[in-house]
Amino acid sequence: MATGKPLWYAPLWAGPAGRLALGASPAGPCCIGGETGVALQTAGPPGTPLRDFVADIFKEVDEDLKRDQALEIWRKYGRYIIAFAVAVVLGTAGVVGWNNYRESQRNADGNTFAQAFQLVGRGDKAAAGKAMADIAAHGGAYRILALLQGAALKLEAGDKAAAIAIYDQIAADSSADEAFRDLATLLSALASVDTGDAASINKKLAPLLDASSPFRPSALEIQGLVALKSGNSTLARQTFQQLADDITAPPGLRQRATQILTWIGEQGGA
């Protein structure tokens, strides 16, 4: 039966029936040139189709090529890969170590500050002042708190000039948190009410009088006190009226403003 294909074309996986249908010998492999020709044996395991065997060969060749390429890349760049891995490990270890160090340092600073504060509670102001000054000079997380406490001790000792200087130092410290700087500005203005110039105090208070400032109610109260001190009852009345009407202000400040307004009225203030 004619198929248009040579007799030896019969696929090896076609089985005896298939080879007979194509005119091939049912026994053994197909042959080129008849029985005396060279037999084309399959190289795979018995029963393995030739196309699967060829696919396996190409797969192995592809894997060998990839392996060779990987080895070549490693020979060229292996030392850089190792160096990068070491840098990552060292960098991670450094960050973790630094965080642990900072945590332990904060704990140590906190203990030192607590011990200094106990001196304040015991009434040993001289020792407390020295301890706070040492903490501030050392730096660390409690530096600003130590400065604030040191300034408070100066005020208690009657040294207003030294206290105001510390407050102004904090207010001008760009590395300090904004809340601490604003608080120091407020305390500096308050400490200056009795002896300071009204214009310079109001200049300090100006940024804190902004509606967005959390210190605005306290700044209004100090501004009103400065106006009273300078004899400007009209400005004092206006300022304390703003504070009394401010529903966002602490109740204690609003109540005090109302009492001062009553006192101004009794004194015949405008």
**Whole-number Å distance between alpha carbons of 223 and 119:** 34
Are the C-beta atoms of residues 120 and 149 closer than 8 Å to each other?
yes
**Those residues with Cβ within 8 angstroms of residue 164's Cβ, 6 or more apart along the chain or in another chain:** 188, 191, 192
More confident residue, 269 or 268: 268
pTM for the model stands at 0.61
The pLDDT value recorded for residue 187 is 93
pLDDT tens-digit map of 66-91? 565 555 655 665 555 555 555 555 55
Tracing tokens 């407390």 back to the chain, one arrives at 128
Q: Which of 216, 212, 211, 262 is nearest to 236 (CA)?
A: 262
Q: Determine the straight-line distance between the first and last CA of the chain, rounded to whole angstroms.
A: 130
pLDDT tens-digit map of 168-187? 999 999 999 999 999 999 99
HSE at residue 33, side-chain half, CA atoms within 13 A, is 5
HSE at residue 181, side-chain half, CA atoms within 13 A, is 12
More confident residue, 113 or 246: 246
Please report which confidence band the pLDDT of residue 112 belongs to, taking 50, 70 and 90 as the band edges. confident
Tracing tokens 């009407």 back to the chain, one arrives at 245
Q: Which of 231, 223, 260 is nearest to 244 (CA)?
A: 260
The DSSP code sequence of 16-38 is HHHHHHTT--SSSS-BSSGGGS-
Asked if pLDDT for residue 102 goes beyond 90, the answer is no
What's the residue count for the chain?
A: 270
Phi, psi of 220 (to 5 degrees): -60, -40
The pLDDT value recorded for residue 218 is 93
Asked if pLDDT for residue 159 goes beyond 70, the answer is yes
**Whole-number Å distance between alpha carbons of 197 and 225:** 12
Using only the alpha carbons of the chain, give its radius of gyration.
Answer: 46
- Percent share of the chain, pLDDT over 70: 60
